[in-house]
């Protein structure tokens, strides 16, 4: 009799015990049926894609784990042009991608075909179906800028629905799918720009404008410039690798769940209480309803009544962690969990770490940052079988 598959074997952090039941349907129809069967049993269930954003309990999961492995990329009819100059911005192309398609393999495919729009999201682990859940983003691009719609099996109705990007409530690392709407992403539709006609004239298809200073510096260009798609992808992969954010079986720093905490969004007035060298980026102004904002809705904001406009800024979680005295490579005594030696935003499994040790270190980081700066860092991963509370 073979040993059961553990969640440690299926997640990039490599912690977690065996679930009661693990199912991995091969196609979309199978995924729908497996999900409906699990929901009909009234037993706990959880979705698992690439396991890159998951921390699973050491005791495993007392229920069904639905491992989404469906594959396939389909080119649909070209999306309607939006009045742009096709010679400059390329021609619209829409693709439909199965939820289990590995995200970085999809990005590599789009770059190879000369399709621009998600090239700066290279190297992000996980599956395509997980991408809209937290509106993945990196180096000046977010999924929201290319997402057209998703096909979604709704938990409440048991029906397959097509949800447009506008219906998903996409924000910084969030969506309605992360905020309580339950179900299964079956497929994702993306609107990209086919830049391949440029290659005949310029020798290469160009990216979307580079919108992130660090990436622009790495490429030796100005913010707003365009570069060959393949060149941008390789530069992003190098930057991510330098931070331990590209999976590598020989590098323990990549045995992580990626960025463990999101960059907090706080009020502009609260941000002024922080040291002058604390990085901050202005966010869109928020119109407030006449109500009290809970402490955990905006980090660093105490209870306050609504006013006409709330001005917010995004802070650097990595800066807050480092300046609370937690350095790269830090670990609690005797623990197998550590802060990455390359980037303070990642918690890594240095060998034999348990989920409890991951949680202990995460709570320690939260406590230090809150004590020093009054900001409560919010974890980014999905927790299966336990919480940080």
Indicate if 259 belongs to the active site.
yes
The rounded distance, in Å, linking the Cα atoms of 58 and 149 is 36
Tell me the longest C-alpha to C-alpha distance in the chain. Answer: 65
Helix 229-242 and helix 103-113: axis angle, to 10°? 150
CA dihedral 349, 352, 355, 358 (to 10 degrees): -40
| Other Cβ atoms within 10 Å of 174 Cβ, number | 16
Dist. CA 296–CA 46, nearest whole Å: 25
Q: Which helix (H) or strand (E) holds 137?
A: strand 137-138
**Which of the following is catalytic: 101, 119, 357, 380?**
380
| Tokens, residue 211 | 């919108």
The three-state secondary structure class of 197 is helix
Q: Find the catalytic residue in 94, 173, 208, 226.
A: 173
Q: Can 173 be counted among the known catalytic residues?
A: yes
Catalytic (active site) residue 164: no
The catalytic residue among 259, 324, 340, 357 is 259
As a whole number of angstroms, the distance between CA 156 and CA 154 comes to 6
Distance separating the N- and C-terminal Cα atoms of the chain: 37
User: Residue 270 has which token pair?
Assistant: 């609260």
Specify which residues 280 forms β-bridges with: 315
Residues serving a catalytic function are 173, 259, 380
């Amino acid at each position: 009799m073979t040993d059961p598959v553990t969640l440690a074997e299926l997640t990039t952090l490599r912690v977690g015990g065996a679930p009661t039941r693990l199912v991995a349907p091969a196609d979309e129809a199978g995924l729908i049926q497996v999900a409906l069967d699990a929901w009909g049993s009234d037993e706990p269930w959880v979705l698992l894609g690439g396991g890159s954003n998951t921390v699973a309990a050491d005791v495993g999961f007392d229920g069904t784990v639905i491992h989404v492995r469906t594959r396939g990329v389909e080119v649909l009819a070209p999306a309607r042009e939006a009045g742009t100059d096709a010679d400059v911005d390329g021609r619209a192309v829409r693709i439909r991608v199965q939820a289990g398609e590995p995200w970085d393999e999809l990005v590599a495919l789009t770059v190879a075909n000369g399709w621009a729009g998600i090239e700066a999201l290279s190297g992000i682990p996980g599956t395509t179906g997980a991408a809209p859940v937290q509106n993945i983003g990196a180096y000046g691009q977010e999924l929201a800028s290319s997402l057209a719609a998703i096909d979604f099996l709704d938990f409440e109705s048991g029906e397959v629905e097509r949800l447009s990007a506008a219906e998903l409530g996409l924000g910084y690392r969030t969506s309605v799918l992360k905020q309580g709407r339950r179900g299964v992403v079956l497929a994702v539709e993306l609107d990209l720009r086919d830049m391949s006609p440029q290659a005949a004239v310029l020798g290469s298809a160009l990216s979307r404008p580079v919108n992130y200073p660090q990436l622009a510096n790495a490429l030796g260009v100005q913010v707003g410039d365009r570069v060959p798609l393949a060149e941008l992808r390789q530069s992003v992969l190098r930057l991510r690798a330098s931070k331990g954010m590209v999976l590598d079986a020989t590098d323990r720093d990549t045995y992580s769940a990626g960025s463990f905490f999101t960059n907090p969004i706080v009020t502009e007035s609260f941000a002024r209480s922080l040291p002058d060298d604390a990085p901050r980026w202005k966010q869109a102004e928020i119109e407030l309803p006449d109500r009290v904002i809970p402490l955990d809705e905006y980090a660093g904001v105490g209870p306050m009544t609504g006013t006409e406009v709330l001005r917010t800024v995004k802070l650097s979680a990595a800066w807050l962690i480092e300046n609370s005295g937690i350095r790269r490579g830090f670990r609690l005594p005797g623990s197998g969990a550590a802060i990455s030696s390359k980037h303070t935003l990642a918690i890594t499994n240095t060998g034999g770490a348990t989920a409890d040790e991951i949680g202990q270190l995460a709570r320690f980081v939260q406590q230090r940052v809150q004590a020093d700066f009054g900001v409560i860092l919010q974890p980014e991963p999905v927790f299966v079988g336990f919480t940080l509370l």
